[in-house]
Each structure stands twice: as C-alpha cells, then as structure tokens.
C-alpha cells in the first residue's frame, strides 16, 4: 500500500467542531501533558475515492507548539496503518494537510482519523469512514473537451528580464524567480503587488530556474551562475532573507552545470535536478539532494551513454515518491536532446521509466495521486493512472498553431493548469512568426484551451505556473516588447497572470 503526502485544497475551518475550538476533541481522546495548550485535531474529509485510491484531508492546529500530524486508517476502528508524519510548524492557525492512499481494497469500508502530537499533548481525532468503489480506476480520459477558463493579467514588472518559475504559499503571498540584465530576478507579491526583493549576488551571469516553497518561511530556488564554467546555484529563504547555500559541484564537469527543477516533500528532504557538462560523457544528468544540512550530488542512471541528457523538472508527493522529467538523445550518434525522459524515485534509487513522449518533457506535477501529469515542449500532456503514463491529446488554440507547454500545476484533483506558448506563421516567407502566451485547464475529467490576457508585443510566453489552495493559480513568463532596430536584439520583461479563484468562462 502506497501513501503520498501533500498540502490540501480543503477549505479552512469548514470541518472544525465547537469542541475543537475549545481545545477538546469531540468523539476523540486527548492525552495532555503537564504544561502547554494541546494541539487540535480535526474531522477527516475524504475525496477522489476510487476502487483502490482515496485522498484524506484535515486541518489540525498546532496551537503555538511544534506539532506533528498523521492519518490512521484501516478496515476497522483499530486502524492498523498510518501515513508519514507531517510537520505543522508551531503557528496558531489551522494547517491544511492531505495524504493520498493507494493499494486499497475495492468495495471496502475504511475507518480513518487524524492524530496530532506536540511536546505537551497527543490528540486522537474522531473516527470517520468511507467506502472504496467497485470498478477499476479510470485509465482513459473523456474525449469531450472542458470549457476553457480565463487566465487574466494581474501585473507587469517593467524591469528588463524574465521570470522562469513561481511559487505561492497562499493566494496573496508568492515568489517569482528568473534573471535580469543586472543579475538575479527575485520578485515577491503581497496584497496583489509584485515588487523586487533584494538578494545577494552569487556571481556573474546568475540565473534562477525553479522555486519550491514548503511554507511561508522556507523556500528553495535553484539555477546556475558563473562565466566560463557555470556552477549550480541554490538559494534559501528563511522568512526574512534569501541566502546562497553551498551545493555540490559534479566531479569531472568542464562547462555548464545548471539546475532547472526543485521539490521538497519535507524541510529535510529536497531534490534538485538539471544538467552537467563533462568531457565524457557529454551533457549528463545532474541530481542533487538536501538532507537538512547539506546538498550533495546523487548517482543517477545515464539514459543514453554519451548524452546529451538533461532533467527539466521534479515533483514529489512524499519522501518515497518523486518524478523527474526531461530529455535524452534520440541515439548515441546525435548531440541533440529530442526525446522525452522520465525518471522515478522510489525511496531508494532513481530509475528510468518508459515514455511515449515525442518531444522533451518540460514539467511534472504529482502532488495529487489522482491528478499526476507531465507536459512536453511539443504540447503533449500525460497522466499517470494505475501505474502507467497515458498520453492526453490537449486542445490547441487552433489546428495550425503549434503549442509548446513549459510547466504544469494543480490546486487539487479537479483543478490544474498547464502553460506555455503557441506559435503562428511558422516557416511562412515574408511573415514574421509570433509567439503568444497560452494555457490549458483541467476540470477533473478533461483538458481544454483557456483564454489568456497577455501583454502586447513581439512575443509572449509562460515559463512557470503555481496553484494555491483557494484554486487560483499564478503564471509567470516573458514578453518581448520590441526588437532592436539594428542589432536584432529584443527587450524582454517579466510578467504574471492570475486566474480568478473560481475561474471564469472563456
């Protein structure tokens, strides 16, 4: 039986009883220590129930003490199984958590409860139950497209540069990272306003490619910096400032060492992925791991000996389950990465899994077991169901417009966004080709093109997207306002779009 742990989209406070507000557990048991306020458990809600899978949700409250929470489950009220503990921190507000269960028995009633533990108390929440379905988990997607939703512009940052990735810890607290002509780009949005945030410069040609925020006081951003030899870069936000953290340099590297993806299932367990360029083999995979103290280079398989091979993104649902995607050489005789690459972490090692992706894979999200998706630069979307990756044919802006998808994120099993760009006038003599930011939305049954409001200019495209617990999503990217009259160079700017919390019809 597998358990995946992640943040929940469960509505705050909706399931708290009056007994919880009094610091007691209705129909539960509280074992309170000699001092301190007992943490609060909550009733368990269950969603996405299939024959062998389900998602558990709860909102425990640490009540000002460092607190650990977990779910117990089983076919009787004695339970017998539990999910990994989740660190809630020591705040005073409820913390939404979830755990995805798999390997359940079909047509079976399961009992569940949420338990919390601090230094002063262990609190056992009330019992709840659910019954799994009879039929198999769906393996194909309905052919009818969903209604597209509007992705509307939220703000525009006029600095010269571009955003590569975005992460939010709430609907009004987000970070965007990338690069500018003056160095790193780190922007923060608060109360709907994006503004630059001061960060130390690691060196020349610095660039941040990915960001992951576990909490509002713990974020990791990764990328690369340096002239001549590019070194991997890791920076951490502690709730007050950003600081560079030493990270392992791959042995034998002679040129580019760039990190392009990062994921943290816990504060002491993070993965960063990218590419390293060595003399032999050329352009091989780079995987780094954070153990709570240091970053270190981890061994990884070589998809095509001699390369080039690279990883673009990584997503983890638990410490024992992560997916990384990227590209590999079509054969050992080519120096181009033009085939998809997919790898899985099972808690012990990284292994390569088969994929039918025609192009390089660019993004992956697997926080929700029933909404685990990967996307490619050719516009392909894949869904992981019953142990297999199934290709989804995504709706395109038009039949003649090629689509490239760069990133994907979900706020829950029935709400996901994939973003990138669409191209027009490709290969048409006498007509300059254009690139427009585009997005596609998932409603729990199918994907559909979404309306996008984007800046006007020569080009506009999305690089990253993130979704918060209230079902709103933020996407960041680049737009080219104008071309240089003589040099042919372009001026690029960062921009961000946001969906309304409930979405709008296109």
Q: Same domain, yes or no, for 112 and 230?
A: no
Indicate whether 504 belongs to any domain. no
* Residue (of 120, 127, 130) closest to 39 by Cα position: 120
Do the domain assignments include residue 505?
Answer: no
Establish if 503 belongs to a structural domain.
no
Structural domains of the chain, count = 2
Q: Are residues 237 and 354 in the same domain?
A: yes
Same domain, 345 and 244: yes
Task: Specify if 234 maps to a domain.
Answer: yes
d(CA 321, CA 323): 7
Check residues 378 and 433 and name the one with the higher pLDDT: 378
Q: Are residues 162 and 121 in the same domain?
A: no
Contact 312, 259 (CB under 8 A): no
* Domain co-membership, 155 together with 123: no
Distance CA 342, CA 360 (A): 10
Q: Are residues 171 and 94 in the same domain?
A: no
**Whats the size of the chain, residue-wise?**
506
Burial readout 178-206 (b: 16 or more C-beta within 10 A, e: otherwise): bbbeebbbbbebeeeebeebebeebeeeb
Q: Which two tokens stand for residue 393?
A: 């044919």
Phi, psi of 371 (to 5 degrees): -140, 70
Of 123 and 149, which is predicted with more confidence?
123
* Sign of the four-CA dihedral 498, 502, 503, 504: negative
In a domain, 402, yes or no: yes
Q: Is residue 296 part of a domain?
A: yes
Q: Do 49 and 162 sit in the same domain of this protein? A: no
| Ranges 89-93, 141-145, 330-334, 366-370: which has the least confidence | 141-145
Q: Which of 45, 31, 32, 30 shows the shortest CA–CA distance to 125?
A: 30
Looking at the structure, do residues 263 and 290 belong to the same domain, yes or no? yes
d(CA 292, CA 433): 47
Q: Which of 131, 159, 179 marks a domain boundary?
A: 131
Q: Which of 305-319, 394-408, 453-467 is least confident?
A: 394-408
What's the distance, Cα to Cα, between the start and end of the chain in Å?
Answer: 41
Question: Which range marks the domain in which residue 31 is found?
Answer: 2-131
Among 104-108, 144-148, 165-169, 496-500, the minimum mean pLDDT is found in: 144-148
- Indicate whether 279 belongs to any domain: yes
Residues 174 and 124 placed together within one structural domain of the fold:
no
Give the end of a domain, one of 131, 161, 180.
131
DSSP states of 86-144 = EEEES-SS---EEEEEESPPTT-EEEEEEEEE-SSEEEEPPPEEEE--SSPPP-S--SS
Q: How many CA atoms lie within 13 A of 106 on its CB side?
A: 6
pLDDT of 430 above 50: no
Helix (H, G, I), strand (E, B) or coil at 21: helix
Give the Cα separation of 85 and 252 in Å (integer).
39
pLDDT recorded at residue 247: 93
pLDDT for the residue 103 = 82
* Domain edge (last residue) among 69, 103, 131: 131
pLDDT of residue 215: 85
In 3-state terms, what secondary structure has residue 70?
strand
Q: Which stretch, 11-15, 202-206, 337-341, has highest mean pLDDT?
A: 202-206
The answer to whether residues 127 and 154 belong to one domain is no
Distance from chain centroid for Cα 458: 29
- The answer to whether residues 256 and 394 belong to one domain is yes
From 288-297, 311-320, 377-386, 443-452, the region with the lowest mean pLDDT: 443-452
Within-domain flag for 246: yes
pLDDT at 479 over 90: no
What is the distance between the alpha carbons of residues 222 and 211, in angstroms, rounded to a whole number? 7
Query: Pairing relation of β-strands 173-180 and 150-170?
Result: antiparallel
Q: Which of 156, 214, 7 is nearest to 498 (CA)?
A: 156
- Confidence band for 79, pLDDT divided at 50, 70 and 90: very high
- Which position has the higher pLDDT, 473 or 62? 62
Confidence of residue 91 (pLDDT cuts 50, 70, 90): confident
**Residue 94 and residue 455: Cα distance in Å, rounded?**
38
Three-class DSSP category at 461: strand
DSSP alpha helix (H) spans, 405-451? none
Tokens of 197: 């945030």
Query: How confident is residue 5, by pLDDT bands cut at 50, 70 and 90?
Result: very low
Here the CATH number for the domain that contains residue 98 is: 2.60.40.380
Q: Residues with Cβ < 8 Å from 130, sequence gap 6 or more?
A: 46, 49, 54, 109, 110, 112
Would you state the pLDDT for residue 337? 47
Q: Is 20 helix (H, G, I), strand (E, B) or coil?
A: helix
- The mean pLDDT of 92-106, rounded to a whole number, is 81
Write the DSSP symbol of residue 499: -
Which of the pair, 281 or 391, is modelled with greater confidence?
391
Q: Are 42 and 114 in contact (CB under 8 A)?
A: yes
Judged against a pLDDT cut of 70, whether residue 34 lies above it is answered with no
Task: Answer yes or no: is pLDDT of 505 > 70.
Answer: no
* Alpha-carbon distance values, 450 to 48, 398, 485 (Å): 24, 12, 34
- Cβ atoms within 10 A of the Cβ of 220, count? 24
- CATH number at 225 reads 2.130.10.10
Same domain, 98 and 167: no
Most confidently modeled of 127-131, 187-191, 312-316, 463-467?
312-316
Position with higher pLDDT, 355 vs 492:
355
Lowest mean pLDDT among 286-290, 341-345, 374-378, 485-489: 485-489
């Amino acid at each position: 039986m597998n358990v995946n742990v992640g943040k929940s989209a469960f509505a705050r406070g909706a399931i708290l009883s009056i007994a919880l507000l009094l610091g007691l557990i209705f129909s539960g048991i509280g074992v309170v220590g000699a001092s301190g306020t007992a943490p609060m458990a909550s009733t368990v809600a269950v969603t996405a129930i299939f024959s062998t899978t389900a998602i558990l949700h709860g909102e425990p409250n640490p009540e000002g003490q460092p607190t650990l929470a977990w779910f117990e489950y089983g076919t009787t009220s004695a339970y017998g199984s539990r999910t990994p503990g989740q660190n809630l921190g020591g705040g005073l507000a409820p913390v939404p958590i979830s755990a995805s269960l798999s390997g359940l028995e079909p047509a079976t009633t399961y009992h569940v409860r949420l338990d919390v533990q601090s230094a002063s108390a262990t609190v056992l929440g009330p019992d709840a139950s659910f019954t799994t379905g009879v039929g198999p988990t769906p393996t194909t997607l309905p052919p009818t497209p969903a209604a597209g939703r509007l992705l509307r512009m939220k703000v525009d940052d006029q600095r010269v540069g571009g955003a590569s990735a975005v992460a939010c810890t709430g609907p009004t607290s987000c970070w965007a990272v990338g690069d500018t002509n003056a160095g790193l780009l780190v922007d923060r949005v608060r109360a709907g306003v994006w503004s630059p945030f001061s960060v130390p410069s690691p060196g020349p040609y610095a660039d941040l490619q990915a960001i992951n925020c576990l909490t509002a006081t713990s974020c990791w951003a990764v990328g690369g910096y340096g002239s001549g030899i590019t070194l991997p870069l890791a920076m951490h936000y502690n709730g007050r400032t950003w600081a560079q953290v030493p990270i392992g340099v791959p042995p034998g590297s002679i040129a580019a060492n760039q990190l392009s993806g990062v994921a943290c299932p816990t504060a002491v367990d993070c993965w960063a992925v990218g590419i390293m360029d060595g003399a032999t083999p050329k352009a091989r995979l780079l995987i780094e791991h954070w153990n709570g103290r240091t970053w270190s280079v981890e061994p990884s398989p070589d998809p095509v000996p001699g390369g080039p091979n690279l990883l673009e993104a990584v997503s983890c649902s638990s410490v024992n389950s992560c997916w990384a995607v990227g590209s590999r050489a079509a054969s050992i005789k080519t120096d181009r990465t033009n085939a998809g690459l997919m790898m899985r972490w099972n808690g012990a090692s990284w292994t390569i899994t088969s994929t039918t992706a025609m192009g390089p894979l660019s993004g992956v999200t697997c926080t929700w077991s029933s909404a685990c998706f990967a996307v490619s630069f050719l516009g392909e979307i894949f869904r992981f169901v019953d142990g297999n990756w199934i290709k989804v044919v995504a709706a395109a802006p038009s039949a003649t417009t090629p689509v490239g998808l760069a990133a994907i994120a979900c706020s829950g099993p029935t709400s996901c966004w994939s973003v990138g760009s669409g191209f027009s006038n490709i290969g048409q003599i006498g007509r300059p080709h254009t690139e427009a930011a585009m997005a596609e939305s998932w409603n729990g049954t199918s994907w559909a093109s979404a309306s996008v409001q984007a800046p006007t200019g020569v080009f506009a495209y999305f690089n990253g997207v993130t979704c918060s617990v209230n079902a709103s999503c933020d996407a960041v990217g680049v737009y080219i306002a104008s071309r240089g009259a003589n040099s042919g160079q372009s001026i690029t700017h960062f921009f961000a779009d946001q969906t309304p919390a409930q979405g709008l019809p296109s």
